[in-house]
Amino acid sequence: MSGRLLSPDELEASLRQIGAERYHSRHPFHKLMYQGNLNRGQLQAWALNRYYYQCRIPVKDATLIARLPTSELRRVWRRRLHDHDGDEPNTGGIARWLRLTDGLGLDRDYVTSMAGLLPITRFAVDAYVEIVRERSILEAIGSCLTELFSPAIIAERVGGMLANYDFVTAETLGYFTPRLDQAPMDAEFALDYVKENARTPEQQAAVLAVLRTKCDILWAMLDGLYLAYVDPRLVPPGAFVPADR
């Protein structure tokens, strides 16, 4: 795996190449979504499952903050807790995601119960938290680098959904607007960190590998949705069954 030492800019190019090949913007489920080819039940399934990811984000971030060695690093990373948990009730990313599930007609108690999750969603998202808990700090920070690629997928998703689904409003999609500023700021910090701190071929290989794994996590979440709700509609025992099919 590990070859010669890359320059910081070569490392960045290799990271961006992984995104070009493996980010879930290339997944057929995403394409169906932004092109207007999903029905309301399929969008519900997506929002319901993605809610679990949103909920685990501050857990992941707090897990990392607990491992960071300096006040400076912890202060920077703490911003993410504010973004996702908010500064007062009904603010922050998780609360905004619930307005999305509301807008799609899902019962809020059902969503927050997590009873209808696809098991694949749970296993994939839990794998993300595990990376941040168990691997090196360099890899934990590197696993967030998918944020480099998120503005493009958000633009495609929001534009496509507003244009193609009459039951989706700008307010329903309010989650995404602040992410267009937050994600690049977060990604820039993480990118600078790994470019400065991955100083051996082995460390660089580890950062590249963890970004591949993080892409796999996001991809697997859409795999689960595709299998259960698009084709061949093989819903695992106990998982959400949409009313609109």
> Tokens at residue 128, please?
């993300």
Q: Is 60 in the site for a copy of itself (CB under 8 A)?
A: no
Please select the residue that binds a copy of itself; options are 40, 122, 135, 157, rule is CB under 8 A: 122
Rounded distance, CA 77 to CA 79, Å? 5
| Those residues with Cβ within 8 angstroms of residue 185's Cβ, 6 or more apart along the chain or in another chain | 79
Structure tokens at 20: 């070009």
CA distance 216 to 26: 12
**What span, in angstroms and rounded, lies between the C-alpha atoms of 214 and 234?**
25
Number of residues that bind a copy of itself (CB under 8 A): 30
Q: Give the nearer residue to a copy of itself in terms of CB position, either 21 or 181.
A: 21
* Site map (CB under 8 A) of a copy of itself, residues 128-147, x = contact: --x-----------------
Q: Give me the amino acid identity at 190.
A: A
Nearer to a copy of itself, 17 or 169 (CB): 17
Quick one: which segment of 18-26, 40-48, 185-193, 194-202 binds a copy of itself (CB under 8 A)? Answer: 18-26
* Contact call for residues 33 and 161 (beta carbons, < 8 A): yes
Rounded CA separation 127/11 (Å) = 24
Per CB under 8 A, which of residues 186..215 are in contact with a copy of itself? Answer: 212-213, 215
Which residues form the interface with a copy of itself (CB under 8 A)? 21-22, 26, 28, 119-120, 122-124, 126-127, 130, 212-213, 215-217, 219-220, 223-224, 226-228, 231-232, 234, 236-238
